[in-house]
Amino acid sequence: MLLLGGGLALDRVLTSAITRNFDDGLSYVLTAMISSAEVGPEGEVLFNRPLADQRFLEPASGLYYQISGEGHEDWRSRSLWDRAIQVTPDMRDRPGQGIDSHQFPEEPLRLMARTVILPGSDTRWIFIVAQAREGLDAQIRSLRQTLVNSFLALGVGLILLAALQVFFGLRPLRRIRREIARMRAGEKSRVTEPLPREVQPLVEELNALLAHNEQQAEEARRHAGNLAHALKTPLTVVMNAATAKAPDLSGIVIRETGTMRRQIDHHLARARALGRRGAAQSRTEVWPSLEAVERAVERLYPDVRIDRDGAHDAVVRVERQDLDELLGNLIENAAKYGGGSVFVTVSPQGQSIDILVEDDGAGIPESERERIFDRGVRLDSGKPGTGLGLAIVRDVAEIYGGTVELDESEDLGGLLVRLRLPAG
């Protein structure tokens, strides 16, 4: 379509240029006629010098002139012989412009006319010079034939070049396709064949995706194994007690099913976080989540005062539900085990956001700070709980590329939990 449009535009430009050049020749002859014309003694028009082109003297030569004036006989060139050019209104209305004429059926003409009043005469003389279009049409036909042949050759060449470009340009992608087929067949685990630098980023991203999928599959296997191992012992205890018809069977069942429920809740929370992390890179504002968690904790612990400070516009790359669970566990623990005062600070740190949760409780000894992250570990057994809060916080934070650290609060004297999450 582009070649066709370009060819038509070029044809119009070149045809106009050839026609304009043809008209310039007619205009030159017409000007020469007018400049050499004068009025004779009987009022007729005469040339004070003969016209240079001998074709005016040869009958049917293809070049003609005619001078017409009202009340005077037309003065025609010998080349017209017994023919005459009919004066039409458009000859008077378009001075200096070429006009196509079909007055002679066997010989289409291109003519130019001009109305002139010569010195010594009041007659409005119409000078007409005409030339057969045969030469002009032959030039246009030759030009169009050349254009058609050239653009046809160019179009075929471009199609061939495009086909070659597609064939050779996409060959690396076909090689990648073969490598992927070999990976699906189990022959390889990565695309290792050297490829052009234009597609190398694609290969690197593909290998990174494969590594990511392998990591997720390994996490899923490890997660399933941990869950199976965690449920194995309670199930064995319940089965042994049921087989032995233990008198306290109901108590054993209640205790062990509670253990299994805690393990299932923990692993489900971790699985949900893994699934959401793989789905998209979420963005969540910290402050609205913090406000929602604070309202919920204040209903559970109305005597606890919760204060917050820091960046109100902080955004983290964590799902809102997971951020609520992280903050909920930390703030609820601070309210439950503290002395009645909790302080939360949101602090941007370059590419990450630090969320500090401090309380005025007894704190945690430095020797116990690592063990407290293990599932089911509780330092204060006098208060209700499952011992999974900090373990869930650590696991979910690590899934999103964050960290959790325990320290001593300098201001309140109790525990300080530093939750660091990637900034959004």
Phi and psi torsions of 199, nearest 5° = -105, 0
Query: Is there a contact between 77 and 68 (Cβ–Cβ < 8 Å)?
Result: no
**Three-state secondary-structure class, residue 419:** strand
Give the per-residue pLDDT at 381: 43
Give the per-residue pLDDT at 390: 78
Give the per-residue pLDDT at 190: 83
Query: Is there a contact between 268 and 275 (Cβ–Cβ < 8 Å)?
Result: no
Give the per-residue pLDDT at 272: 66
Give the per-residue pLDDT at 280: 47
Fold of the domain built from segment(s) 281-422: Heat Shock Protein 90 (3.30.565)
pLDDT 10s per residue in the chain (424 long)? 889 999 999 999 999 999 999 999 999 999 999 888 888 887 788 888 888 888 989 998 999 999 988 888 888 899 998 899 888 887 776 777 888 888 888 899 999 999 888 888 888 889 999 999 999 999 999 999 999 999 999 999 999 999 999 998 888 888 888 888 888 888 888 887 777 788 888 888 888 888 888 877 777 777 677 677 778 878 888 888 888 888 888 888 888 888 788 777 767 766 766 665 544 467 899 999 999 999 998 988 899 999 999 999 999 998 888 888 889 889 998 898 888 899 999 999 989 999 999 999 888 888 777 777 665 444 444 444 434 567 778 888 888 889 999 988 888 888 899 999 999 8
**Residue 11, C-beta contacts closer than 8 angstroms, at least 6 positions apart:** 143, 144, 147
Residue 125's beta-bridge partner residues? 69, 116
Buried b (16+ CB within 10 A) or exposed e, 285-300: ebeebbeebbeebbee
Phi and psi torsions of 314, nearest 5° = -65, 140
Rounded to an integer, what distance in angstroms lies between the CA atom of residue 340 and that of residue 359? Answer: 8
**Three-state secondary-structure class, residue 81:** coil
In the chain, domain spans: 2-140, 200-278, 281-422
Owner of token pair 């699906």:
184
Give the per-residue pLDDT at 275: 62
Which amino acid, 10? L
CATH class of 2-140: alpha beta
Give the per-residue pLDDT at 374: 63
Rounded to an integer, what distance in angstroms lies between the CA atom of residue 7 and that of residue 2? Answer: 8
Q: If 0-12 CB within 10 Å is exposed, 13-18 middle and 19+ buried, where does residue 192 land?
A: exposed
